[in-house]
Amino acid sequence: MFKKPLVVAVIALAGVSAFAQEKTVTVADFVGTWNIEVMSHQVALVIEKHDAGKVTATMMMMGRDVPLKGELVDRTITFVGVKAEGVESGGHVQAAPNAKPIVVSMQDDGTLTGEMMTSNGPVKWTAEKLKTRKKPQQ
């Protein structure tokens, strides 16, 4: 008597679980301001959409703004530093010489994990998206 509803519930649960695992991540999921804590420093990563698969970003750390460009592949964006004048003028953006990549991946919970190379080797970090405050209704 309970077998048919139980089978239907199990199939529905399996379908929901499979759908959750196969969510397509787009550039829009990355767009916004992210708060990163790395090596006891607060770092901001501001990501903006360039086109369907490409983004530009600014990493703000220790009083410096570092312009970046990146491309989304699956759930990961690989950023490289760019010459500041290319980003500001809106012209052709070229990677800075000897730029070390910053790899950023979207997690299922909506946070980012990342890794960037430093002179002491790779540094791993996590980031949370900053929430925008809602204006009070008057």
**For 107-133, how does the pLDDT look when each residue is reduced to its tens digit (9 = 90+)?**
999 999 999 887 788 889 999 998 766
In Å, how far are 51, 53, 74 from 71, measured between CA atoms?
A: 10, 6, 10
Q: In 3-state terms, what secondary structure has residue 22? A: coil
pLDDT for position 29: 94
CATH number for the domain whose boundaries are 25-129? 2.40.128.20
Cα–Cα nearest to 125, from 107, 100, 99, 108: 107
Residue pLDDT, tens place only, 27-61:
999 999 999 988 778 899 999 998 889 999 999 98
- CA dihedral over 24, 110, 35, 31, signed as positive or negative: positive
pLDDT at 8 > cutoff 60:
no
Residue pLDDT, tens place only, 71-114:
999 999 999 988 755 444 444 455 556 667 899 999 999 999 99
- Residue 59 sits at φ, ψ, to 5 deg, of -105, 120
13-18 mean pLDDT: 49
